[in-house]
Amino acid sequence: MKLYEKLAEDLEQQIRKGVYRDGDRLQSVRETSRQRQISITTVLRAYLLLESRGLITSRPQSGFFVNLRRGSGTTAPDVLERPKPIAISASVDVSRLVLSTLRTISEGNAVPLGSPYPDPGDFPFDKLGRYAFAAGKDASLRELKNALPPGHPDLLRQIARRHLEQGLVVDPAEAIITVGATEAINLCLQAVAKPGDLIAVESPTFYAMLHAIERMGMKVVEIPTDPVQGINVDILGQLARELPIAACMVMPNFQNPLGYRMPDERKQALVRLATELDMPIIENGVYNELYYGDMPPSTLKAFDTEGLVLHCSSFSKTLTSVYRIGWALPGRYRDQVEKLKFLNTLTTASIPQVAIAKYLERDGYDHRLRRIRKTYAQQASLMRHAVNRFFPEGTRTSNPEGGYVLWVELSPSIDSMDLYQRALECNITLGPGYMFSVTNSYKNFIRLNYSSPWSREIEQALMTISKIVSNCMR
């Protein structure tokens, strides 16, 4: 990264975090040059780059000022609406909508802005395939035994090692291998609650959480969720003292669809509340490895001393979605989850487990992740800038700190399902906001996937969606 690009990136981060707000004057070119010990030309190029992105504007004889009215949606504390009203469902039924949406995403050659999956183009299929082939040739009764819960010991050790490197001490004996994170979430929910129970979730929330609740015949309590800070712990506490909430399901890091990273203080407050109320928390950590900063995020599990946090994750977002290998760290519920795993699906195929364990051990997984993080961070910036450049005035976006999805708020007059259908006619998919709640609270929101390499096709797709939105507003 060139010096002026690095300076522009640093300043953009400060704007994102609210250090500079709309209308604030930046340091003068000369002051920044002296403070950073770089040339005036370098500073000027950085400011012009930020101006081209729509983040700042120059005023003759006055300097450069933050201008977020048509910026990149980086007014971190104010970019999206604040917490929504609480919703308590009598039942949950989002599966039909999600299934029909996912079918259209997977069919044909539509631009996959609505896909929930990462772009598979960079997955190491060849290496994993070779390890799987070798494991298949050596398959034995012992390997078949390793398919039974809790899973293959080599993979369990690798999972424990990865958590340790991220600051979480895990006993390999606690982990249970599952068929992706989806099964891990379902098993954990089944272990802590029963049909008819109330389950607290973020609002908006990832629809896989709603699927699990629907499958179990439970009810949703939607908790207001800040687009930067995460779930409102105070409101959750008030409700949990008034209602028989059996468990809470959250995605504290790079939440889908909002993309925030919950601050450590709020994570600690959430775990303290759970401890006080003896309320289990199911933590979805599938995006934890896809952080954009220098350090991996903390987990709720790291602050848990009572075994109340059931941590779920998988390799589907970072390594391969083909093998569907996930895991659960169920804390005090470990034995129940292992039993339910055996009763529900009996085994998790051992050959994919061996292949992934070998890859983690030998093939530079961390190097690959660093490259993906850098790519996703760049594409997140491109997507934000494009949305705010092409979409109508008043459009607001999230500021993802990891993962690969952008949450976009459109005019209240827009119905995202109608927009979804019109975009589909143009061979473009998007994620309608209806999928992320049991109410219609997000009918004018859409989720966009930016994991695919940036291209003219994607830019044209965004311009097309923008035109449809503009026409619908007339």
Does residue 79 have a pLDDT over 60? Answer: no
Task: Label residue 439 by pLDDT band (50, 70, 90).
Answer: confident
Read off the pLDDT band of 73 (50, 70, 90): very low
Give me the chain's average pLDDT, please: 88
Determine the pLDDT at residue 352: 94
The percent of residues above 70 in pLDDT, for the chain, comes to 91
Tell me what pLDDT residue 105 has: 65
Q: What is the mean pLDDT of residues 453-466?
A: 94
Question: For the chain, first and last CA: distance in Å?
Answer: 43
Q: Using CA atoms, how far apart are residues 397 and 385, in angstroms rounded to an integer?
A: 10
Q: For the residues 285-313, what does the mean pLDDT come to?
A: 96
Residue 34: pLDDT band with limits 50, 70, 90: confident
Comparing 4-13, 95-104, 324-333, 457-466, the range with the smallest average pLDDT is 95-104
Query: In the chain, pLDDT over 90 holds for what percent of residues?
Result: 64
**Cα(386)–Cα(406) distance, integer angstroms:** 12
Q: What is the mean pLDDT of residues 170-198?
A: 95
In the predicted structure, residue 129 carries a pLDDT above the cut 60: yes
pLDDT of 403 reads: 97
Quote the CA–CA distance of 132 and 155 in Å, as a whole number: 13
pLDDT > 80? residue 48: no
How confident is the model over 99-113, as a mean pLDDT? 75
Q: What are the percentages of helix, strand and coil residues in the chain, rounded to 5?
A: 45, 15, 40
Task: Please state, in angstroms and rounded to a whole number, the distance separating the CA atoms of residues 243 and 175.
Answer: 31
Residues forming beta bridges with residue 445, ordered by sequence position? 409
Mean pLDDT for 192-200 is 96
DSSP 52-92: HTTSEEEETTTEEEE--SSS-S--TTTSS--PPPPEE-SS-
The mean per-residue pLDDT over the stretch 242-257 comes to: 96
Token pair listed for 22: 């709309």
pLDDT band at 280 (very low <50, low <70, confident <90, very high): very high
Q: How confident is the model at residue 59 (pLDDT cuts 50, 70, 90)?
A: confident
Confidence of residue 69 (pLDDT cuts 50, 70, 90): low
pLDDT for position 30: 84
pLDDT at position 76, please? 37
Residue 13 pLDDT class (50, 70, 90 cuts):
confident
- Quick one: average pLDDT of 394-399? 93
From residue 120, how far is each of 110, 115, 247, 325, 440 by CA, in Å? Answer: 15, 11, 34, 16, 32
Q: Is the pLDDT of residue 358 over 90?
A: yes
Specify the 3-state DSSP secondary structure of 118.
coil
pLDDT at residue 384, as a whole number: 92
pLDDT of residue 453: 93
Read off the DSSP letter of residue 426: T
**pLDDT at position 373:** 95
Q: Strand pairing partners for 176?
A: 328
Above 50 in pLDDT, residue 78?
no
The residue among 380, 390, 389, 382 whose CA lies nearest residue 465 is 390
Split at pLDDT 50, 70, 90, the class of 64 is confident
**What is the phi/psi pair of residue 291, to 5°?**
-85, 150
H/E stretch holding 309 reads strand 309-314
| Separation between Cα atoms, residue 177 and residue 179, nearest integer Å | 7
* Residues with Cβ within 8 Å of residue 243, at least 6 apart in sequence: 88, 198, 221
- Domains of the chain by start residue, with CATH: 3-66 (1.10.10.10), 92-120+367-473 (3.90.1150.10), 123-364 (3.40.640.10)
The pLDDT, as a whole number, for residue 257 is 96
Please check the confidence at residue 141 and state whether its pLDDT lies above 70.
no
Measured CA to CA, the distance from residue 185 to residue 208 in angstroms comes to 9
Is residue 391 within 8 A of residue 311, CB to CB? The reply is no
**219-236 residue pLDDT tens:** 999 999 999 999 999 999
CB 105 within 8 A of CB 112: yes
User: Do residues 118 and 404 make contact, with C-beta atoms less than 8 angstroms apart?
Assistant: yes
DSSP classification of residue 392: P
Of the two residues 29 and 60, the one the predictor is more confident about is 29
Question: What is the sign of the dihedral through the CA atoms of 382, 384, 388 and 390?
Answer: positive
Confidence of residue 60 (pLDDT cuts 50, 70, 90): low
SS3 per-residue string spanning 203-243: ECCCHHHHHHHHHCCCEEEEEEEECCCEECHHHHHHHHHHC
Query: Which residues have C-beta within 8 Å of that of residue 378, sequence separation ≥ 6?
Result: 454
Residue with tokens 């504390």: 77
Enter the pTM of the model: 0.81
CA dihedral 389, 390, 391, 395 (to 10 degrees): -10
**What band does 81 get if pLDDT is binned at 50, 70 and 90?**
low
The arithmetic mean of pLDDT across residues 188-193, rounded, is 98
**For residue 72, what pLDDT is reported?**
43
Per-residue pLDDT at 71 exceeds 60 = no
The neighbour count for residue 467, using CB atoms within 10 Å, is: 15
Tokens of 125: 């299929």
Q: How far apart are CA 111 and CA 464, in angstroms?
A: 11
Residue 8 tokens, joined: 């522009």
Q: Return the residue matching tokens 């600690």.
A: 268
Residue 147 pLDDT grade (very low, low, confident, very high; cuts 50, 70, 90): confident
What pLDDT, on the 0 to 100 scale, is given for residue 438?
A: 87
More confident residue, 334 or 101: 334
Q: For residue 147, which of 330, 352, 339, 328 has the smallest C-alpha distance?
A: 352
pLDDT value at 97 more than 90 = no
- Per-residue pLDDT at 140: 61
